[in-house]
Structure 1
Amino acid sequence: MSEDSKRSVVVERTATGHFLATNARGGTLHFGTASDEGPTTEFTPVELLLAAIGGCTAVDVDVATARHAEPAAFSVSVTGDKISDELGNRMTNLVVTFDVAFPDGEGADRARAILPRAVKASHDRLCTVSRTVETGTPVTVTIKGA
């Protein structure tokens, strides 16, 4: 592994059930636990996982298609079922759905033609997040000083 391959975030507790993730570039993201106490603008960790899957593949597809035409609409929805079974809590039935439209024009025709290949390439080899989920990369958990 090279130093260029290392990615990291630090997650700090800000209050009961509320956290702040900070990346190496100083970007921050608040998240927390779901609550029955009314609406919240924070994402849960599971929602962040879904957003990471959708965001990763959206970036790949956008890079491939937007060089030909600016989309008139571009959204990606990611759904799944949270279950608890003999393997523990986990997500199943993950589905990523693209809803992309391009205006009329020659560049837009190229973008529409590229779209299926770009989605497949992202899923099959480019999107680090979904590739990691699908290959089942082990996660090591440690306690500092233990």
Structure 2
Amino acid sequence: MAQVRVERTDDGYVARNDRGAEVAMGSGDEQGVFTPVELLLAALGGCNIVTVEPLTAQRGHRLVRLAMTVQAEKVEPTLLGPITITYDVELPEGDEKAAEVFRAVAHRVEEKYCTVSRALREKTEILLELPERPDASE
């Protein structure tokens, strides 16, 4: 099971995992923090890139540079339009098959192996659990 805890702190908001990593977030007015939408885009990009890189390398094509930009515009105040993933890749010199392998792997990862892509595409159900009687001591 994947899990993070998100909470308000004295400095804003933070998401933490059980391994001690944390990410600061806010509304976008603050410096040095991600907005929730930026975290969604980062999760999508991260899921794709950490899957593409080892699969390409396993096929014998270690890319010199592998980066991406993930972007989306809000089409309504609370609705994103299409999300675009744009790769920035430098292929190994003299490796004629690297481009073909990279493109095939990147397509397959986005379509089948990236959990975040699949969750967004298949509209994963979100369940909201609220305490029956919120307690100030919790």
Q: Which stretches in structure 2 are left out of the alignment for 5+ residues?
A: 134-138
CA contact (8 A) 1:66 1:111 kept: no
SS in 2 for 1:76: strand
Q: 1:60 pairs with 21, 41, 51, which one? A: 51
CA contact (8 A) 2:111 2:117 kept: no
**CA distances 1:93-113 after superposition (whole Å, capped 9, x unpaired):** 2111112112213xx434322
Structure 2 residue identity aligned to 1:47: E
Which structure: greater strand fraction?
A: 1
Structure 1 residue identity aligned to 2:70: V
Q: 2:7 pairs with 4, 8, 12, which one? A: 12
Q: TM-score, normalised by structure 2?
A: 0.85
1:128 is aligned to 115
> For residues 56 and 109 of structure 1, what CA distance do their matches in structure 2 show?
27
2:80 is aligned to 91
Share of identical aligned residues, percent? 31
1:80 maps onto 2:80 in alignment: no
Q: Which stretches in structure 1 are left out of the alignment for 5+ residues?
A: 1-5
> For residues 23 and 100 of structure 2, what CA distance do their matches in structure 1 show?
36
Q: RMSD over aligned Cα, in angstroms?
A: 1.8
